[in-house]
């Protein structure tokens, strides 16, 4: 009988959500330390380094949808938004809860892909289709997935300069 995970095996994983934003921590429990366990530790440590560095751009982010916890490719996220003291990412027409604040995201997201459009939203510029002005005089960002995100007037000049610099 072989001990531990072998190539092709899958590791069981679970998630426990904290009530407050905390530094993520992962614990791997195994009968022995194998190459696969070492690889998992290395992957987690590298994700940790990216999530704590202000100069690093996030490639993947952990999100929770219902009881499902997944790593999400950041470049595929349409936008991030805050609601009810929680932060969500719109990915694949679903809203995934993210355990980072918008301020933390703004510092870590690629400035060539993401731009803050209000105190409660950050959009992916590559998902942007157009801006609209509604009857109430509010600017709206229309995204490829059909989502509409309200744009605050105080962010308009920043967004305009970003659009001009990307053309």
Question: pLDDT tens-digit profile of 60-99?
Answer: 899 999 988 889 999 999 999 999 999 999 998 899 999 9
**Phi and psi of 111, rounded to 5°?**
-70, -15
Q: How far apart are CA 79 and CA 87, in angstroms?
A: 11
Please, what are the domains in the chain? Answer: 1-52 (no CATH), 53-165 (2.40.50.1020)
* Strand-pair partners of 60: 73
Residue 48 confidence (pLDDT) above 50: no
Lowest model confidence (mean pLDDT) among 22-26, 31-35, 100-104, 147-151:
22-26
* 8 A C-beta contact, residue 149 and residue 143: yes
pLDDT band at 46 (very low <50, low <70, confident <90, very high): low
Q: How far apart are CA 140 and CA 91, in angstroms?
A: 19
Positive/negative CA dihedral, 88, 89, 92, 93: positive
């Amino acid at each position: 009988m072989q001990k531990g995970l072998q190539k092709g095996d899958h590791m069981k994983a679970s998630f426990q959500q904290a009530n407050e934003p905390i530094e993520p921590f992962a614990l791997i429990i195994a009968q022995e330390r194998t190459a696969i366990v070492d690889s998992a530790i290395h992957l987690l440590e590298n994700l940790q380094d990216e999530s704590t560095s202000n100069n690093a751009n996030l490639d993947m982010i952990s999100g929770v949808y219902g009881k499902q916890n997944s790593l999400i490719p950041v470049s595929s996220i349409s936008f991030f938004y805050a609601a009810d003291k929680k932060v969500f990412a719109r990915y694949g027409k679903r809203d995934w809860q993210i355990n980072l604040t918008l301020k933390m995201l703004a510092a870590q997201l690629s400035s060539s892909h993401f731009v803050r459009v209000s105190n409660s939203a950050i959009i992916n510029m590559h998902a942007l289709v157009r801006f609209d002005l509604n009857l109430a005089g509010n600017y709206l960002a229309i995204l490829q997935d059909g989502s509409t995100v309200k744009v605050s007037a105080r962010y308009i000049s920043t967004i305009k300069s970003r659009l001009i610099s990307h053309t």
